[in-house]
């Protein structure tokens, strides 16, 4: 029996949150999961420092793994929080993490553009899909078993 991985779950969340039409889900996952990070996520686990999230898909998978493991820090009014936003139609994502006693940490994920590349298409009508540590925690807990 094959087991669902954190990356599988991240891809499913991307498909659900980022697709306007079910038929576009696979293309949506390809577009968003590979978006490069402005800077990676860095987690302190015991004495070890772990760097993840060079792409949006890997960052989301890392959060799915990390948030349930530290669920107590996310409880209460003054608890930590995470907000993930997907923007379209030009694929872009933002992860915001606020930990008690620290400054807001923001990671942006967007296609790299080089000089001479065409500008992204201007879209007067844009969509934003947003979810928080609540979704991340529930899905991560299900995957962890």
Q: What is the mean pLDDT of residues 15-34?
A: 93
Is the pLDDT score of 123 beyond 80?
A: no
Mean pLDDT of the chain: 87
Higher pLDDT residue, 127 or 48?
Answer: 127
Question: What's the per-residue H, E or C state across 2-62?
Answer: CCCCHHHHHHHHHHHHHCCCHHHHHHHHHHHHCCEECCCEEEEECCEEEEECCEHHHHHHH
pTM of the model: 0.87
Sheet holding 127-132, edge to edge: 105-110, 92-98, 81-88, 127-132
Spans of all domains in the chain: 6-114+122-144
Name the pLDDT band for 13 (thresholds 50, 70, 90). Answer: very high
Token pair, residue 8, equals: 């599988």
Q: What is the mean pLDDT of residues 103-128?
A: 78
- CA atoms of 130 and 20, how far apart (whole Å): 14
pLDDT value at residue 126: 83
Q: What is the mean pLDDT of residues 101-118?
A: 82
pLDDT value at residue 139: 95
Is the pLDDT score of 96 beyond 70?
A: yes
- CA atoms of 105 and 63, how far apart (whole Å): 14
């Amino acid at each position: 029996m094959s087991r669902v991985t954190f990356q599988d779950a991240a891809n499913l969340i991307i498909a659900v949150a980022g697709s306007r039409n079910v038929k576009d889900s696979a293309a949506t996952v390809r577009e968003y999961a590979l978006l490069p990070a402005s800077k990676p996520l860095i987690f302190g686990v015991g004495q070890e420092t772990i760097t993840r999230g060079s792409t949006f898909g890997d960052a989301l998978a890392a959060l799915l793994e990390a948030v349930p493991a530290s669920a107590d820090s996310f409880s209460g009014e003054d608890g930590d929080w995470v907000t993930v936003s997907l923007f379209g139609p030009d694929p872009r994502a933002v992860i915001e993490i606020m930990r008690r006693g620290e400054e807001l940490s923001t990671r942006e994920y967007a296609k790299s553009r080089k000089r001479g590349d065409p500008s992204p298409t201007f879209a007067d009508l844009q969509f934003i899909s947003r979810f928080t540590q609540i979704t991340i925690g529930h899905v991560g807990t299900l995957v962890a078993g």
